[in-house]
Structures are given as structure tokens and as C-alpha cells.
A and B are shown apart, each in its own frame.
Chain A
Amino acid sequence: MLALLADSTIQNVLVGAALLGAISGVLGSFAVLRRQSLLGDTLSHAALPGICIGFLLAGARDMPAILAGALAAGALAALAIIGITRHTRLKTDAALGIVLSVFFALGVVLLTFIQSTGTGTQAGLETFLFGQAAAILRADLYLMGAITLGALVLVALLWKEFKLVTFDPVFARTSGFPVLALEIALTMMIALAVVVGLQMVGVILMAAMIVAPAVAARQWTDRLSVMVVLAAGFGILAGTSGAIVSATARGLSTGPLIVLAISAIVLVSLLLAPRNGLIPAWLRQRAGRRELHETLVLGTLSHLAVEHGDPDYRAEQAMIDAYHGTRTHQALEALAQKGLVAPARHAPETTPHWRLTDKGHARVAHPTEREDEPQ
């Protein structure tokens, strides 16, 4: 394991994955909250022609040129989406689909154009489709690191503004904030996250890195600041674990592995998160249902006692079942455990009977006073 960590390729991969996780988690949180999850999908597909043009202009697999091309294509795509939704009657989904597919098609055309002109060094370009973590160089990391740092600093500086625009854009506008500029900034920064993820997960699966960490983090908290930090953490965890598996097992694409890792994190979060998780929610619901049932059974016993003018009235269990139209044995046992009812005999009958204890009478009279009983 230590030998593995000493390998410089592995180090590069780990740092790259961590950078990707951080930037996509933070910016994805805003995108998901602003219901723009699929924007990441479109902007990442749209980066492909930019990559090719960057390559064509630089004449080689030159990272700064390629990333600049990807960023420019992403920005153009974002503007095209805004233009189509503003100036036609097409809805956002159609605008996203049009820009995604046409830009990607243009990318495919340029990719084959580069191959047919045969400059010989083009082999690296197709790794941008699915990502190939092992191909990351130390120099690429400085670039990715600078972009990530820039984006994070911008988020920190404009934290209040971004938060307001995300949750209440109308109030932000009436308060005099430049809402359009802030929204454009958030959109453009997703293009930045895409650029950082190009080498790790590729253009096709980048959508998942924008959406998934944020959705997972959302399950654990209701606070934006916590969500952003958690999303970054989940992104880093998924990025590094996927990248390590890909770099050690030959022939497995990095992108799909990272996406599966983050999908697993989402699944666990959806199921287990303490407040929003499906399993805790189900358990809470079941406990609530049981407690309600117990209260109703207790009430039935109390009514029977009052009707018969006998505080020690012994009610037959089958009769309580009949009143409730369902089995009450479990509820009665639970009430007995709490000392609110007690089993009783009513000779000559041999069937089980129940009566209220003094504590049970007290509970019916004052249902909210229960400090003697650990909740």
C-alpha cells in the first residue's frame, strides 16, 4: 500500500481526483439546488468540440490550450442555452438537448477530422471521452489546482450573494443584487468544473460528478455550508477511490469507476442519512404507528373501566382485538413493559385478560406527563 502511494502516477491521480471532487462537489451543490442538474451534462458534452479546436490551434496535446478550448466551448454552449430559452418558445429541456447533441456531434466531426489529417499525436484525445486518470501529468495538476483554487476562492468571496440567488432570486433582484451576472457566474463555473474533470472522468460522465455529490450531501444536512463541504468530501472520496482502482487494474476506464463510487455513496445516503434517509424515516414512521396504536388500546381499556364503574376491570384480549379490528397483543405487551397495563385472570375463563395499572390510569388522565419513563 505504501509502495502504491509512493508511485508518482498514483500520486498524480489521487491529487487530480481530489481536485475534481472538491470543485464538482462545491459547484454541483449550487447547480442541484437551482434545479440545473442537467446543465452539467450539457456543458460537459459541449466541451468536446472545444477540446478538438484547442488541439488543432496548439497543434499538439497541449493541456492549457485544450482546457481553454473546452472552457470557451462550455461558455458558448451556456450562452446558446440561454439564447434559445429566451428567444424561442422551446423549453429548457429542449434547449439543453439541442445544445448537447449538436455540440457533441461537432466534436465527433472534429475528432475524426483530426484523425484523418493524421498528425500522429492525436491518440490522446479520445481519452477525454471516458477519462484516463493514468495519463495525468504533474503539469496538468498545477493547472487543475489553479482552476479549482480560483473557483473556490470566488465561491468564498461571493458566498452570501450565491446563497441568496440560489434560494430566493426574486428577493435578490429586489435587493439590488446583479442577479443575472451572478447566475451567469454560477453557470460558467460549472464549465470550469467540467474542465477540471475532463481528464479524470471524461466529457460523458461529468454530469454525474456535478449531480451526485450534491444529492448525497443534501440528504445529511439542511445547511448550505455543511452541504457544500460534505459534497466536496464525497466527491474527493469517490474520485480517489475510483481513480485508485482504475490506475491499479489495467483496462478499466476511470470515469465509470468514479461514477459508480459516487453512485454508491448516493445510494447509502438516500437510505441511511439520519434525518432524510429512507430507512430512518421508515423506522420513525413505524415507531409512530406503534405508539399511536398503543395509545388507542390504552384508551379502550380506560373506556371499558369507566363504562363498568370498575377501575380494575379485566378486559378479555379477544374483545380488545374486536374493538380495534386487529391484533392488539403486541401493543398490550409493549404497554405491559411500560407498566401501564398488567395481565390478569378472570376465572372461570381461561383466556388472557388485561387491566389498567395505576400508572395506566394516570397516563390516561394526563397523557403528556411521562417523565418517569425513558423515551
Chain B
Amino acid sequence: MIAAYFNDPGAMIMTTGALVGIASALVGTFLVLRGNSMLSDAISHSIVFGIIIVWLLTRQASGPVQIAGAALTGLLTVVLTQILVASGRVRQDAAIGLVFPALFSIGVLLINLYARDVHIDEHTVLLGEIGFVWLDTIELLGQPVPEAMIWMGAMAVLNLAFVALFYKELKLSTFDAALASALGFAPAALNYALLALTSMTAVAAFDAVGAILVVAFVIVPPAAAYLLTDRLSRMLAIGCAIAVVSAVGGYWLALAFNVSIAGMMAVMTGLCFMLALAFGPRHGILARLLRVNARRQDNRCRTLAIHLFNHEGEPDQGEENVARAMREHLHWSEERARSVLLACLDQGLVRRKGPLLELTEKGRATAREILEPWSH
């Protein structure tokens, strides 16, 4: 059973993708909430520079040295950006847009010059080769475990441990940085740790999904989760769940169309985002439309109640308080008049008495609440 699992390339690919997704979503949640999403884009480009430098120095294309190098490169990106901002000459967004293309360019040129025809080439850097993760395996507990899966698993565990250990501190510094620093929680140190973990995750994921698609895993699942819930703990869990669903779904779709697996996994995160955007329970577009419509209908019912209340017991009651008046006096279409009347009957605001529409006690109370708010 276990041996069959580790010998199935498909299962290995999906597991690696899911681990990329979980590790990324855990740190991505905080980046999205802090408004720092684009730093992950900058970091994921810059690590190409770090990867080639470490490769030139140690000839190791993956492993702990690479991950440590990536953490440093990520911090270098952030520090350079902050130096530019601190100089007062460049704003934050422009500073990001200056630093990462420069580092990325140096990285690509170094690859052009020194690393031709080796494991690292520009296309792997960009697109990843998750389809081949099961080729590089290490014997672990008697099973051939893909190397990429081990590193991604380690990053997922590390990120989970970080979030679990510093949950309270992260939460406070994300939502109220001023209070966090007043209470001595060192939000700056926490921020650097978060960005270092982001770059480590990016470089661990880089073999599998490439430098740019990792941005999709960092930003999109947490953003989708943000549209589905208002609780941080649930946002983390939903983000991870969306990442796993995207990895599995992306694998099968990529197989069906014979296209890039990593690319399809990232497209699936986008699809999940669109679903959340459309059908999210509170913040979704559909939910909001329904809410607006319900409120409109409610307002029309109240309008009818007030109309009936105004003419109740007046001499023109026979002319005003009939179904036809809803069309002629309130200028509602026949369809709308009928739906409003049905809604009022359902809510017990109005009852029929021959041709006459009569307010119930509840309907009268509703109208009075609006017209004479002081009488309550």
C-alpha cells in the first residue's frame, strides 16, 4: 500500500504540489492581510539571483544551502527596497519595481554565462518541472521519496510551526502593528522572519513550480479564503484546503490536456478564487446581489404598508387601498406589484378583505415605526 503510493508518479506529483500550496498559503495569508503581496512577487524573482550565486559557489542546485541562500536573497531584496524608500527619493512601489528586475537580470545573465546546459536553465527557473519530481528520489524508511517532496514537506512543517508558535504575535502585528510594538512584540523582527520564510518556501518550491508560479500559490489561495471567512484561523485552513484542491485538480486537468502541470495547478487557484468571488457566503458577488435585492423587496413592502396606513379609514380608502392602486399610484409594474403583494401577505403585513387591502396589526406597527418613530 505504502510502496504503491511512493511508486506512483501521479501521487508524488500531487503530494508535492499540495505541500507547495500548504507551505505557501500559510505565509501568504499574512502577506495578503498586511498588504505586502507584491513583495512575494519581488522575492520570487530575486531568488533566481540567489540560486545561481549559491550554485556557482557550491555547485548545489537544491538542498539546505540553497534554502539558506534564498532566505538571505529574500532579505536582501527587502532591505534594498527599504534602503531606497528610506533615501526619500523613491516610493515603495517603485522601489520594489527597481530592485527585483535588477537582481533577476543579473541572475539570468549569470545563467546565460556560466550555467548553460546544466540543471538550472531559465525555463526551469520560470516554469518548474513538477512532472519530473519523482525522478530524483532519496531512500527514506525503505521507500524512494522524491527529494522535492522532502524539502517541501520540511518547509510546510517549518511554516506551520512558525505560525503555530507565533500565532498570537502574528495576529496582533498584522491587525494592529502599533499596539504590537507598544506591547514589545517586535513586529519588525516578525516581519523579517515572515519574509525569510517566504523566500525559503519560494526556493524550495522553485524546482517544482518555478519562480513565478509560486506567487500564485502564495497570494491566490489566501485571497480566496479572505473572501470566504472573517476569522484568521479559518482563513489559514481554507487557504490550505484551496491549495490542496488546486494541486489535485490541476494535476488531472493538466494530464487531460497534456499541458504544464505546475501552470495548471496555478490556474486552478485562480479558478478557486473566481468561485469564491462569485459564490462567497458574505463577500461573494452573488450573495451581495441577493442581499441588495432582498433589501429592495423589504423596502417595497414597507412602502406598501405606509401607503395603506396613510389612507386607512379615509374617504378615498376604496380607491387607494386596492391592488390596482399599486400600479397606478405607486407606479409599479404588474409583475412587481404582484410579487410585493405576495411578500406582504407572506410576512403577514397585509390581508385581503374583499377587494380591499387591509393592514394587519403587524403591518400597522411597521408603518407606524417609520412614520412615528417617537411613539415607541
Cβ of A93 and Cβ of B105 under 8 Å apart?
A: no
- CB–CB B94/A215 < 8 A: yes
The answer to whether B94 and A204 have CB atoms under 8 Å apart is no
Q: Total number of A-B contacts with CB less than 8 angstroms?
A: 201
Compute how far the CA of A97 lies from the CA of B43 in the bound complex, rounded to whole angstroms: 13
Chain B residue nearest to A39 (CB atoms) is B93
Contact of A108 among B94, B96, B263, B270 (CB under 8 A): B263
Assuming the A-B contacts A40-B97, A113-B259, are A100 and B116 also in contact, with contact meaning beta carbons closer than 8 angstroms in the complex? no
- Asked whether, in the complex, the Cβ of A108 is within 8 Å of the Cβ of B112, the reply is no
Contacts of B104 in A (CB 8 A): 204-205, 256, 259
From 6 to 43 in chain A, residues with beta carbon under 8 angstroms from any chain B beta carbon are: 32, 35-38, 40-41
Residue of B whose beta carbon sits closest to that of A129: B126
Instruction: Report the stretch among A84-92, A148-156, A314-322, A365-373 that lies at the interface.
Output: A84-92
* Cβ contacts B33-48/A at 8 Å (1 or 0 each): 0011110110001000
Q: Is A309 an interface residue (CB 8 A)?
A: no
Partner of B41, one of A97, A252, A255: A97
Given A38-B96, A102-B267, A109-B264: A253 touches B108 (CB 8 Å cut-off)? yes
Q: Is the CB of B262 within 8 A of A108?
A: yes
Judging by beta carbons under 8 Å apart, are B93 and A90 in contact? no
List CB contacts (< 8 Å) of B175-234 with chain A. Answer: 212-213, 215-216, 218-220, 223, 226-227
**Interface segment, one of A162-170, A175-183, A206-214, A327-335:** A206-214
Q: Are B96 and A105 in touch, CB under 8 angstroms? A: no
Question: Does residue A104 face the partner (Cβ distance < 8 Å to B)?
Answer: yes
Do B89 and A276 touch across chains, with their CB atoms under 8 A apart?
A: yes
- Please report the C-alpha to C-alpha distance between residue A101 and residue B271 in the assembled complex, in whole angstroms: 12
Contacting pair A41 B98 (CB below 8 A):
no
Of all chain A residues, the one with the shortest Cβ separation from B32 is A94
Measured between alpha carbons, how far is A253 from B219 in the docked complex, in Å? 29
Taken together as a complex, chains A and B put the C-alpha atoms of A106 and B285 apart, in Å, by 24
Q: Which residues of B contact A126 (CB under 8 A)?
A: 123
Judged by a CB distance under 8 angstroms, whether A130 is at the interface is yes
Does B349 interact with chain A (Cβ within 8 Å)? no
Does A219 belong to the interface (CB within 8 Å)?
yes
B98's partner among A90, A91, A106, A212 (CB-CB below 8 A) is: A212
Out of B108, B127, B223, B273, which one reaches A130, CB within 8 Å? B108
Q: A108-B127, A252-B112 are in contact. Are A91 and B102 (CB under 8 A)?
A: no
Contact B223 A87 (CB under 8 A): no
Query: What does the 1/0 interface line of A248-278 toward B look like (CB < 8 Å)?
Result: 0001110111011001001000100000101
Judging by beta carbons under 8 Å apart, are B102 and A253 in contact? no
Report whether B126 and A208 are in contact in the complex, using a CB–CB cutoff of 8 Å: no
Scan B74-112; emit 1 where CB is below 8 A from any A CB, else 0.
000000000010010111011011101110111011001
Please name the residue on chain B nearest to A261 by beta carbon: B105
* Any A CB within 8 A of the CB of B269: yes
Find chain B residues with CB under 8 A from A84 CB. Answer: 277
Query: Which residues in B have their C-beta under 8 angstroms from that of A257?
Result: 105, 109
Whether a CB of chain A sits under 8 angstroms from the CB of B303 is no
Which among A101, A129, A207 is the interface contact of B122 at CB below 8 angstroms? A129
Shortest beta-carbon distance from A52 to chain B in Å = 11
Q: Of the candidates A90, A111, A113, A205, which one forms a contact with B258 in the assembled complex, judged by CB atoms under 8 Å apart?
A: A113
Task: Determine the main DSSP class of A at the interface with B.
Answer: helix
Query: At the interface, yes or no: A305 with Cβ under 8 Å from chain B?
Result: no
A204–B211 alpha-carbon span in the complex (Å): 11
B residues 226-281 in Cβ contact with A at 8 Å: 226-227, 254, 257-260, 262-267, 269-270, 273, 277
The answer to whether A116 and B259 touch (CB under 8 A), given A93-B35, A215-B94, A251-B116, is yes
Of A36, A88, A266, most buried by chain B (CB within 10 Å of CB) is A88
Per-residue B-contact encoding for A109-142, CB less than 8 Å = 1, 0 else? 1111100100000000010011000000000000
B364 within 8 A of A: no
B277 touches A88 (CB 8 A): yes
**Residues B112 and A253 in contact, CB atoms below 8 Å apart:** yes
Chain B CB within 10 Å — which of A109, A257, A263, A270 has the most? A109
Q: Can you identify 20 A-B contacts, CB atoms within 8 angstroms?
A: A35-B91, A38-B96, A38-B97, A45-B212, A94-B223, A96-B37, A97-B38, A97-B215, A102-B273, A106-B267, A108-B126, A109-B259, A111-B260, A116-B259, A205-B105, A210-B97, A215-B90, A259-B104, A260-B109, A263-B98
Measured CB to CB, the residues of B under 8 A from A are: 32, 35-38, 40-41, 45, 84, 87, 89-91, 93-94, 96-98, 100-102, 104-106, 108-109, 112-113, 116, 122-123, 126-127, 212-213, 215-216, 218-220, 223, 226-227, 254, 257-260, 262-267, 269-270, 273, 277, 283, 285
New A-B contacts (18) at CB < 8 Å, excluding given A106-B270, A108-B127, A212-B98: A35-B91, A93-B37, A97-B38, A101-B213, A102-B216, A104-B212, A108-B266, A204-B126, A205-B104, A207-B100, A211-B101, A214-B94, A251-B116, A253-B108, A260-B102, A263-B101, A263-B105, A276-B89
Seen from chain A, the residues whose Cβ lies within 8 Å of a Cβ on chain B are 32, 35-38, 40-41, 45, 84, 87-91, 93-94, 96-98, 100-102, 104-113, 116, 126, 129-130, 204-205, 207-208, 210-212, 214-215, 218-219, 251-253, 255-257, 259-260, 263, 266, 270, 276, 278
